[in-house]
């Protein structure tokens, strides 16, 4: 891919007002929607982003019904080539486990990966199961039934969560595996991160998995998880950043990396980038230029917003590589 002539990390003043549309990941929705407000004021670019799930986001950008798609599951290289899409990560955050256990102190429940897998595959059905109690000495657990809440739509957050369970539980990997949609064993389904958060909030005895900002915004009880080094940790920006330190970000691999179950004393075990998909041929269109400038603004000026919402920006070298590798009008396919 030839290098486009762009100037990364500069102030982007739009030559004319333009509206761009994006759709997909609910994981990424809070940050894109929050970026859009200062972007509109400073550049004249209006952003309409719809949180419809990663699978739908991939479909819509492939069909050219939106100017950019968003997905927490990276698209495979052959599918990117077939659909003439440029893929890159934008920000990172953690998937967290939230519970509705009124008598358990907030942030004090301890879980590990194999136990979490058993809660979701139906092996553990009561909260006072000895396997949970063994992780929580001194904590009085209720004898309530477990209600495992999952995503009902095609979800990149589900892909990240089930990929983690596949890493830490051979049984989960063999019987269920990773995917945007999997064969959930009972429980209840919600649409979007916000739907899962709402169901957990209103269902005693439930647990669910959501992107960190949704847990914070809804004041949900977040469980501590045992990380790769054997430490029980709470989610934090520092823990998310620690998980990305060993990542091998390469443009030739379309920046697809795994940040799951990474080593490090404070690393949060379920961390993921979220990805953007841009039609290569749109680079010379006003909307295509608007997409470029929107993400250039986010890389250059979005860090304060990111941190406020619970996201971590990419390493600066990765941001620079993304902008330098943006498709050029000379080599992009025409349709």
Domain ranges of the chain: 18-92+244-260+272-324, 95-243
CA atoms of 37 and 29, how far apart (whole Å): 13
CA atoms of 328 and 78, how far apart (whole Å): 20
pLDDT over 90 for what percent of the chain? 87
Instruction: Quote the DSSP letter at residue 284.
Output: G
Domains 18-92+244-260+272-324 and 95-243 share a fold: yes
> In this predicted structure, what is the pLDDT of residue 14?
46
Domain 95-243 of CATH type 3.40.190.10:
yes
> In this predicted structure, what is the pLDDT of residue 283?
87
Residue 207 phi, psi dihedral angles, 5° rounding: -140, 155
Contact between 212 and 94 under an 8 Å Cβ cutoff? The reply is yes
> In this predicted structure, what is the pLDDT of residue 335?
44
Judge whether residue 8 has pLDDT over 70.
no
Whole-model pTM: value is 0.89
Burial class (CB in 10 A: 0-12, 13-18, 19+), 315: middle
CATH topology for 18-92+244-260+272-324? D-Maltodextrin-Binding Protein; domain 2 (3.40.190)
Span 99-125, pLDDT tens digits: 999 999 999 999 999 999 999 999 999
Supply angle C-alpha 170, 184, 49, rounded to 5: 110
Question: What's the farthest any 2 CA atoms get from each other in the chain?
Answer: 66
Once rounded to an integer, what is the mean pLDDT over residues 204-211?
97
> In this predicted structure, what is the pLDDT of residue 331?
53
Contact between 159 and 168 under an 8 Å Cβ cutoff? The reply is no
Pair of tokens at residue 27:
């994981």
The H or E element containing residue 215 is helix 212-217
Dihedral, CA of residue 139, residue 145, residue 146 and residue 148, to nearest 10: -150
Judge whether residue 11 has pLDDT over 60.
no
53, 66, 214, 226, 293 from 290: Cα distances, Å: 22, 13, 28, 42, 5
Once rounded to an integer, what is the mean pLDDT over residues 214-240?
96
């Amino acid at each position: 891919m030839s290098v486009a002539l762009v100037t990364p990390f500069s102030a982007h003043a739009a030559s004319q007002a333009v509206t761009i549309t994006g759709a997909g990941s609910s994981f990424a929705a809070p940050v894109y929607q929050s970026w859009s407000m200062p972007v509109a004021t400073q550049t004249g670019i209006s952003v309409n982003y719809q949180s419809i799930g990663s699978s739908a986001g991939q479909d819509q950008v492939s069909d050219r019904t939106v100017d950019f798609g968003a997905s927490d599951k990276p698209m495979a290289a052959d599918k990117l080539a077939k659909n003439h899409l440029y893929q890159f990560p934008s920000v990172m955050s953690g998937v967290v486990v939230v519970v509705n256990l009124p008598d358990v102190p907030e942030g004090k429940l301890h879980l590990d990966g194999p136990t979490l897998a058993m809660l979701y595959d139906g092996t553990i059905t009561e909260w006072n199961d000895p396997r949970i109690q063994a992780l929580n000495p001194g904590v009085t657990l209720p004898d309530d039934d477990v209600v495992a809440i999952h995503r009902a739509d095609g979800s990149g957050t589900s892909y990240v969560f089930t990929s983690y369970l596949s890493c830490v539980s051979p049984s989960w990997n063999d019987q269920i595996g990773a995917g945007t949609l999997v064969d959930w064993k009972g429980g209840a389904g919600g649409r979007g991160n916000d739907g899962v958060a709402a169901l957990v909030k209103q269902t005693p005895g439930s647990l669910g998995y959501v992107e960190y900002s949704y847990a914070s915004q809804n004041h949900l009880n977040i469980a501590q998880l045992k990380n790769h080094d054997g430490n029980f940790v709470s989610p934090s920006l520092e823990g998310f950043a620690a998980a990305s330190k060993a990542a091998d970000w390469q443009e030739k691999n379309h920046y697809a990396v795994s940040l799951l179950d990474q080593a490090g004393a404070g690393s949060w075990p379920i961390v993921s980038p979220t990805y953007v998909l841009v039609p290569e041929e749109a680079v010379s269109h006003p909307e295509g230029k608007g997409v470029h400038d929107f993400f250039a603004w986010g890389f250059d000026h979005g860090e304060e917003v990111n941190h406020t919402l619970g996201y971590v920006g990419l390493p600066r070298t990765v941001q620079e590589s993304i902008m330098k590798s943006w498709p050029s009008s000379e080599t992009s396919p025409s349709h």
